[in-house]
A and B are shown apart, each in its own frame.
Chain A
Amino acid sequence: MSLMHTQIFDFKGGVHPAENKQQSTELPIACAPMPSKLVLPIAQHIGAPAEPTVTLGQQVLKGQVIAEAQGFVSANLHAPTSGTVSAIELRAIPHQSGMSDWCIEITPDGQDQWIEHAGIVDFLDVEPSVLLERIQQSGISGLGGAGFPSHVKLAADPAKIDTLIINAAECEPYITADDVLMRERAAEIIQGIEILLRIVNPKQCLIGIEDNKPEAIEALTKAIQVSRDDTHLIKLAVVPTKYPSGGEKQLINLLTGQEVPVGGIPADIGIVCQNVGTAYAIYHAVAKGEPLISRITTVTGAACAQPRNYEVLLGTPVSELLPLAGVDHNQMNRLIMGGPMMGFTLNNEEVPVVKTTNCLIAASRNELPDPAAEQACIRCGMCVEACPAQLLPQQLYWYAKSDNLEQLETHNLMDCIECGACAFVCPSNIPLVQYYRYGKGELNQARADKQKSDRAKERFEARLARQEREAAEKEAKRKARAEAAAKKQAEKKAAPATATGTSADAAQANAAQPDMALLQKKLDAAKLAIEKSKEKLAAAEAEGSDKVEAFKLAVEKSTQKMKDAAKAIAEAKKAAKAAPAANGASDKGDPNSPERLKNKLELAEARLKAAQDRLAEAEQQGSDKVDALKTAVEKQQERVSEAKAAYEQASSSASNSASTPASRVEPEPVSDLAAFEQKVLAAQTRVDKAQERLAMAQEQNLDTVAALQTGLEKQLAKLAEAKAALEQAQAGAQEVKS
C-alpha cells in the first residue's frame, strides 16, 4: 500500500512569493547556548494567561511548573533550565502592539538540572485520557504560529473525528523550522503522530507537506516505513507549493476538499489539525516526560552571516540569539518575528522567544524595503483573485476605511486569515491587511461594548426591580408594625381592665415601677440630646454651615424620641394608677363595673389631651408629623367617646340594677331612656367636635379635609341612629307607662 495520498484538491486564490528557504537549510539544527537570562511571558498561548506559582528568588529546576494554567483553554509554563527566579514583572513581549505583559525572569545557574520526570514507556498502550492529561500538563500549545492549547483541540469527541491532519506545509517564505525538524527528527515526529492517533482515533491521518521540501518528504517516508504503525493510517500528502497552503482551513481544503463552515472549527467537519512541531513536542512530553521548554527557530535574512535553525530555550532574548547567526546590525533594516507575510516588526530586541516564535528575519533594506506609499485603489480585482478565503478584499477595504462595521460583518471579515496575499498582489501598495486588522479590532470592540451595555442594562433593570421590591417590603413592614403597636396598646388597655386577681394586678403595678424609672431615664437622655442638638444647630446656623438641615433633622428626631419617652412614661404611670384602681374594683369581681370604666374613661381623656397637646406643638413647629398626630388624636377621641358610652351604660345599668330590687314597679325602659338620651348627647357633642375640626382643616386647607368629612358624616349617621333609638325608647316607655 502506498504511503502517498494522491487525491489533492486545490483552494482558490493564493500567491507565489519568493521562497528564500534554502539559505537557512544549509546547516543542521544547532543548539543555542544557555542565555544569561530567560524571560517567560505568562501568556504565550491563546486563552487565559497562566498564573505564576513561583516567588521571587525561588530556586527552580528544569521542567518545573512556574506558572499554572487557568481554566481549560490555557497552558502551563515550565522553567526551561534550572536557576533562580530573578524577577516577576512587566516586560516587553513579542506582540504587534509592542506592549508589556507579566513575565517571569529566570537567571540560569548553569547546572541545567532536570526536575524528576519520567516518560510513559508503553505510550501506545495506555488510555488516551492518560496521554491527553500528559499533554495538558506539559504546556503544549500549537507551535505553528497561533498558539492554541493542543489539549483543547484533542479533547474533541473521538467518535466525531475521522481525519487527523498534520500540518507540515510551512508555506510562508524564509521559515524552515519545520522543514529541518522533519529532515533530522522524522522518527520522533512519526511517534508523536502515533500518540495523536491513539488519542483522536481517526480513520485516516494525512501529513500535508509542500513539494518544495523533498528531503523532509524522504525522511518522513522512511520514518513511516519503520514505524510501529502497520495499518498504514499515516499517509503523506504532497501538495503543490502555494502560499498559504499551510493555513489550517486551506490545508483542510487541499487534502479533503471540504470547507470549514463560517465561524466554525475543523472539528465541526470531523477534522483535527496539528502542527508537525506540535507532534514532536507531544512525543517528548509523553515518551520522555519533558514539557515544552524549547523549540526550533529559524534565524535568517540577508543581514545574517550564517542563517540557520536553532533549538532555542523558550525565554531566550532575541538580542542573545541574533549574534549566534552573525547578524550585522548595520545591514539590518528591519527585524521581523514570524514570516515576511504574517509576521510583525520587532522594535525591541530584548523580547524573548516564545512558544509561537518560528522565525526571526533580520532583513536588509534591499530584501524587505519599507512599504511603498499607498496609492488609490484602481479596482483591478487582483486581491479578489488572490484571496484564499474567498472574501472580497476590495469591498472589505472600503468598508474598513469608512468604519462600516455592519457591512464588514456581512462581508465576513472575521473569516479573513490575515495571510497578506491581497496586499502582496496589490499594484497600489495598499496595506490591505492592516485595514482588516483595524476592522477586526473595531468589530471585536463593538461586540464587547454591546455585551457590556447589555449587561449594564440588565443590572440597571435588576436594580430598579430591587428598589421597587424593597419599597414594597418597607411599606408592608411599616403596616405590620403599626398593626402590632395598635394591638399591643389594645392589650395593654385591656390588661388592667380585665385583671381579675389582686395579686396579678399588684405584680403588674410593681413591674411598672422599674419600667417607669427606666423610661424616666430615657426621657432625661432624650431631653439632653435635644438641648445638645439645638446648641449645635444654633452654632451651625451662626456659621452658615450646610449641615443645618441635617442638625434640624436630628433635633426633630430627638424631640420625637423625647415625646415618645414622655408618652411611654405617662402610659406607664396610668397603668400603675389603674392597677390599684383595679384592685378596688376587683372586689366586686366585675370588670365592667362603673368605677373601672370611669377610670378607663379618665385615662382615655388624659391620653386624648396629651395627643391634642402634641398635635398643637407639632403644628407650631410645622413638623411633618402633624397628619399622623391628627389621626392619633382622632383615634383617642373615638376611644374616649367609646369609653364614655360604656361608662354611661354601665353606670345606668348599675343604677338600674340597684334600683330594680327597691322599686320593681319602676319600668325598666326609663333607665334605658336616660342612657339613650346620654348617647344622643354624646353623639351630638362628637358631631360638633367633628364639625369644628373640619372647619379648622378647611381653613388651613389641609389634605385631611376629605377624611374629616367622611368622619363627620359617620358621626351624623350615628347621631341620627341614637336619636331614633331614643325616640323608640321614649315611645316604648310611654306605652309601658300607659
Chain B
Amino acid sequence: MVDYLLILVSTILVNNFVLVQFLGLCPFMGVSNKLETAIGMSAATTFVLTLASLSSYLVYEYLLVPLGIEYLKTISFIMVIAVVVGFTEMAIRKTSPLLYRVLGIFLPLITTNCAVLGVALLNIKRENSFMESILYGFGAAVGFSLVLVLFAALRERIAVADVPKNFQGSAIAMVTAGLMSLAFMGFTGLVSI
C-alpha cells in the first residue's frame, strides 16, 4: 500500500513528467493560455494517460510477450494510444461540445504527447505490475494536470501585468516555466523511486 502511495508522490511531485522529466511540453506551452482550457485539457489527458497505460500493459503482457515480439512494443503502443485518444475524442464531443471545440487541435495532439508514450514505455522498463502501471500512468497525469493548471493560472495573470516589452508573450512564459521547474526540483530526494 505504501508502495502505491510512493508511486503517486513520485510521479506527481518528485519526478514530475513536465517540470522534471521534460515530457509533454507541447501542450504545457500550447494550452496554458486560459485556465478553463487548461482544466479541460488536464481532464482529457488524465483520462487518456490512465487508460493508455492500462491497455498498453495488457497488450504487452498478454500479446507481445507470449508471442515473443516485444520489439514491436513502440508501434503497438502508438496504436493503443491513438485508439484511446480517438475514443476520448468521441466521448468528449458527445458530452461537452464546447470543450471539444476549445481543445480543438490539442485533443488529437494528445496522441503525440510524448508523456503518454513515455509513461507506457517507462512502465515496461521499470517492470511495473498491472496495478503499478495504472497508478504510474494516473500519477503522471495528475502531475501533468497540476503543473498545467498552475501554469495557466500564472499566465492568465501575467497576461494583464506590465511585463517589459521585450519579455512579453512566450519569453516571460518560458521564464515562468523555468522558475516553476526550479521549484519542483526542490522535491528531489523526498522519495527515491
Q: Are B162 and A404 in contact, with the CB atoms below 8 A?
A: no
Question: What residues on A are CB-neighbors of B160 within 8 Å?
Answer: 398-399, 401-402, 404
Q: Are B162 and A376 in contact, with the CB atoms below 8 A?
A: yes
Question: What residues on A are CB-neighbors of B157 within 8 Å?
Answer: 398
Can you list 10 A-B contacts (CB < 8 A)? A376-B162, A377-B162, A398-B157, A398-B160, A398-B161, A399-B160, A401-B160, A402-B159, A402-B160, A404-B160
Interface residues of B in 141-168 (CB under 8 A from A): 157, 159-162
Question: What residues on A are CB-neighbors of B162 within 8 Å?
Answer: 376-377
Distance, CA A85 to CA B17, complexed state (A):
81
Least CB distance from A406 to B in Å reads: 10
Distance, CA A455 to CA B112, complexed state (A):
47
What number of B residues sit within 8 Å (CB to CB) of A?
A: 5
B interface SS class: helix
Identify the 7 closest CB pairs spanning chains A and B, nearest first. Answer: A402-B160, A398-B160, A376-B162, A399-B160, A398-B161, A401-B160, A404-B160
Interface residues of B in 27-70 (CB under 8 A from A): none
Distance, CA A532 to CA B160, complexed state (A):
74
Distance, CA A399 to CA B160, complexed state (A):
7
Question: What residues on A are CB-neighbors of B161 within 8 Å?
Answer: 398
Residue-by-residue, is B154-184 near A (CB-CB < 8 Å gives 1, otherwise 0)?
Answer: 0001011110000000000000000000000
Residues on A lying within 8 angstroms of B by beta carbon are: 376-377, 398-399, 401-402, 404
Question: What residues on B are CB-neighbors of A399 within 8 Å?
Answer: 160
Q: Which residue of B has the minimal Cβ distance to A395?
A: B157
Q: Which residue of A has the minimal Cβ distance to B158?
A: A398
Least CB distance from A435 to B in Å reads: 12
Q: Which residue of B has the minimal Cβ distance to A397?
A: B160
Distance, CA A377 to CA B163, complexed state (A):
11
Q: Which residue of B has the minimal Cβ distance to A379?
A: B161
Question: What residues on B are CB-neighbors of A398 within 8 Å?
Answer: 157, 160-161
Least CB distance from A594 to B in Å reads: 78
Distance, CA A11 to CA B95, complexed state (A):
45
Least CB distance from B164 to A in Å reads: 11
Least CB distance from B154 to A in Å reads: 13
Q: Which residue of A has the minimal Cβ distance to B161?
A: A398
Q: Which residue of B has the minimal Cβ distance to A400?
A: B160
Distance, CA A398 to CA B163, complexed state (A):
12
Q: Which residue of B has the minimal Cβ distance to A404?
A: B160
Q: Which residue of A has the minimal Cβ distance to B159?
A: A402
Least CB distance from B126 to A in Å reads: 43
Question: What residues on B are CB-neighbors of A404 within 8 Å?
Answer: 160
Question: What residues on B are CB-neighbors of A376 within 8 Å?
Answer: 162
Least CB distance from B39 to A in Å reads: 15
Question: What residues on B are CB-neighbors of A402 within 8 Å?
Answer: 159-160
Other A-B contacts than A376-B162, A402-B160, 8 sampled, CB-CB below 8 A, are: A377-B162, A398-B157, A398-B160, A398-B161, A399-B160, A401-B160, A402-B159, A404-B160
Question: What residues on B are CB-neighbors of A401 within 8 Å?
Answer: 160
Q: Which residue of A has the minimal Cβ distance to B162?
A: A376
Least CB distance from A401 to B in Å reads: 6
Least CB distance from A389 to B in Å reads: 21
Distance, CA A401 to CA B159, complexed state (A):
11
Distance, CA A377 to CA B162, complexed state (A):
9
Q: Which residue of A has the minimal Cβ distance to B156?
A: A407
Least CB distance from B114 to A in Å reads: 33
Least CB distance from A545 to B in Å reads: 54
Residue-by-residue, is B96-109 near A (CB-CB < 8 Å gives 1, otherwise 0)?
Answer: 00000000000000
Q: Which residue of B has the minimal Cβ distance to A376?
A: B162
Distance, CA A376 to CA B161, complexed state (A):
10
Least CB distance from A135 to B in Å reads: 47
Least CB distance from B99 to A in Å reads: 18
Question: What residues on A are CB-neighbors of B159 within 8 Å?
Answer: 402
Distance, CA A376 to CA B162, complexed state (A):
8
